[in-house]
């Protein structure tokens, strides 16, 4: 590895030893870009990499809300405006009890390179709260979202920072937050948030975009190998928005998603969750119930439920982890390899530990695709939503879907090209990191690297 890259990775691991997820993502991305640093000694001259690992701005705020029983609660809100070199900060808000500064920083860092890959003018940001939406009433969610936005609204804007959803934040939460933003600012600036409802500027296809984009990317990978998606079995984790989009697209294309998972375990449906619209629609009901239990699917459709287990021992053609970070560790990677699975397509942000990722990438018969490319369709359609809002126009679902397909195709092609340029072969992980990095690095250099 390039000595400068190694020094910066060591620096981050020492300086931020208490932020394990952040250190993990920096190590993963920077190891990949080592050949670019070899080829560009000017980056070391200005110590560009150390600037890149420090967010431009990151802050916390107090979020106080009252539950239905009249009890007051205080949560921590976060926003990390990681890198604004190529556009306004852009990235989701995550509401989940395990949100920490490290989690927000790793997501913001990943988002910077992901957004760059989309080809759209968006910088990287991320935010959220340690608030737990599980079991909360609609009124409690509304009060929390209003309080959250009251604290945040001064620091965002259509040309400043544009939040969206992530885990625990969907259309309903974005609606409450947008309503509060509008009330506080007294302006119609719907470009301030993406993932909005269709009646006030939301883009068609945004709810489906992450899952659809992931399947479009998978199709590019399969085409590269001379294969087609029809009839393929896919094991996924999670049952949230992303998993739902994958199942919906799999239903359209005749692929079979055989697993879903939640904090309680996983379900195995040999006929496929994607075998009927009723099953795919049921996923939305499970989410809306806020019970956070995937067992509900097994009870409803009479399939097997494996309490407390992950689905990674299942035999399938394709694995798509779609739940959360570090879902696939070494012991799961060993099962995936032992099962002879060829396609490992990350979907959730950083779903694989670095050792497990390296182990699978080293398998001669495996193709590994990285989340920052595979899940970029979500934020890409957010970018399209921003364009529609600023132009005051509305594109049809077909128009957005066509653009999304084109973007996913381009991301795959750019990754292939970037890896080839550095003699790395069909290495989608390195290719995505290199392609995403190059644009941000060039913009930072041209702007004087502030
Ligand atoms: O991880 C992600 O890319 C997102 N949660 C979507 C971000 C966005 O701004 O649409």
> What does the block give as tokens for 385?
């939503």
- Ligand 1 atom nearest the C-alpha of 195 is 10
> Cβ of 252: how many Cβ atoms within 10 Å?
10
- Residue 123 CB–ligand 1 contact under 6 Å: no
Q: How far is the CA of 130 from the centre of ligand 1 (A)?
A: 18
Residue 342's Cβ-count burial label (10 Å; 0-12, 13-18, 19+) is middle
Categorise residue 292: left if φ over 0, alpha if ψ from -120 to 50, beta otherwise: left
Is-contact 244 287, C-beta < 8 A?
yes
- Residue 203 CB–ligand 1 contact under 6 Å: no
What CA–CA distances, in Å, run from 291 to 66, 135, 288, 379?
21, 6, 8, 27
Mutate to test the pocket of ligand 1, among 87, 118, 156, 166 (most ligand atoms within 8 A of CB): 166
User: What whole-number distance in Å separates Cα of residue 13 and Cα of residue 232?
Assistant: 40
Is-contact 297 268, C-beta < 8 A?
no
Residue of the CA atom closest to atom 3 of ligand 1: 379
Per-residue pLDDT of the chain (450 residues; tens, 9 = 90+): 999 999 999 999 999 999 999 999 999 999 999 999 999 999 999 999 999 999 999 999 999 999 999 999 999 999 999 999 999 999 999 999 999 999 999 999 999 999 999 999 999 999 999 999 999 999 999 999 999 999 999 999 999 999 999 999 999 999 999 999 999 999 999 999 999 999 999 999 999 999 999 999 999 999 999 999 999 999 999 999 999 999 999 999 999 999 999 999 999 999 999 999 999 999 999 999 989 999 999 999 999 999 999 999 999 999 999 999 999 999 999 999 999 999 999 999 999 999 999 999 999 999 999 999 999 999 999 999 999 999 999 999 999 999 999 999 999 999 999 999 999 999 999 999 999 999 999 999 999 975
Give Dmax (Cα) for the chain.
Answer: 62
pTM above 0.95, yes or no: yes
Residue from 235, 213, 181 nearest 384 by CA: 213
Indicate the SS3 state at residue 316: coil
304-307 and 265-268 strand pairing: antiparallel
- Degrees to nearest 5, angle at CA 69 with 66 and 73: 30
DSSP H helices, 62-164, are: 101-117, 138-152
- Residue 94 CB–ligand 1 contact under 6 Å: no
User: What whole-number distance in Å separates Cα of residue 130 and Cα of residue 132?
Assistant: 6
Q: How far is the CA of 87 from the centre of ligand 1 (A)?
A: 15
Residue 45 annotated to the active site: no
Which of the 8 DSSP states describes residue 272? -
Which of the 8 DSSP states describes residue 346? -
């Amino acid at each position: 590895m390039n000595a400068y890259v190694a020094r910066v990775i060591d620096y981050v691991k020492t300086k931020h030893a208490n932020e394990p997820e952040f250190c993990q993502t920096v190590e993963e991305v920077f190891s990949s870009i080592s050949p670019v640093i070899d080829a560009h000694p000017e980056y070391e001259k200005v110590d560009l990499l150390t600037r890149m690992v420090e967010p431009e701005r990151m802050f916390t705020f107090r979020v106080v809300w009252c539950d239905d029983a009249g009890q007051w609660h205080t949560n921590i809100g976060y926003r990390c405006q990681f890198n604004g070199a190529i556009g306004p900060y852009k990235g989701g808000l995550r509401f989940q009890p395990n949100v920490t500064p490290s989690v927000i920083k790793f997501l913001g860092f990943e988002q910077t390179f992901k957004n760059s890959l989309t080809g759209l003018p968006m910088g990287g940001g991320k935010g959220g709260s340690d608030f737990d939406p599980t079991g909360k009433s609609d009124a409690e969610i509304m009060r929390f979202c209003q309080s959250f936005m009251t604290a945040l609204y001064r620091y965002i804007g259509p040309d400043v920072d544009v939040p969206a959803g992530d885990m625990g934040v969907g259309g309903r939460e974005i609606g409450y937050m947008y309503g509060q933003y509008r009330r506080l600012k007294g302006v119609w600036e719907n470009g301030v948030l993406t993932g909005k409802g269709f009646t006030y500027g939301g883009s068609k296809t945004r709810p489906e975009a992450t899952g659809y984009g992931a399947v479009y990317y998978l199709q590019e990978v399969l085409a590269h190998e001379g294969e087609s998606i029809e009839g393929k079995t896919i094991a996924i984790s999670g049952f949230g928005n992303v998993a739902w989009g994958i199942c919906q697209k799999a239903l359209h294309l005749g692929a079979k998603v055989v697993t879903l998972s939640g904090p309680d375990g996983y379900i195995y449906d040999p006929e496929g969750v994607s075998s009927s619209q009723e099953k795919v629609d049921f996923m939305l009901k499970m989410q809306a119930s806020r019970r956070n239990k995937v067992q509900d699917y097994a009870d409803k459709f009479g399939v097997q439920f494996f309490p407390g287990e992950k689905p990674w021992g299942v035999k399938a053609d394709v694995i798509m982890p779609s739940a959360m970070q570090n879902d696939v560790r070494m012991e799961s990677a060993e099962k995936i390899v032992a099962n002879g699975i060829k396609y490992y397509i990350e979907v959730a942000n950083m779903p694989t530990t670095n050792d497990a990722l390296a182990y699978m990438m080293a398998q001669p018969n495996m193709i590994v695709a990285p989340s920052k490319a595979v899940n970029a369709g979500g934020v890409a359609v957010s970018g399209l939503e921003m364009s529609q809002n600023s132009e005051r126009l509305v594109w049809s679902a077909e128009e957005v879907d066509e653009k999304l397909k084109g973007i996913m195709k381009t991301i795959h092609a750019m990754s292939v090209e970037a890896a080839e340029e550095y003699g790395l072969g069909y290495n989608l992980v390195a290719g995505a990191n290199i392609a995403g990095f190059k644009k941000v690095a060039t913009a930072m250099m041209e702007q004087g690297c502030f």
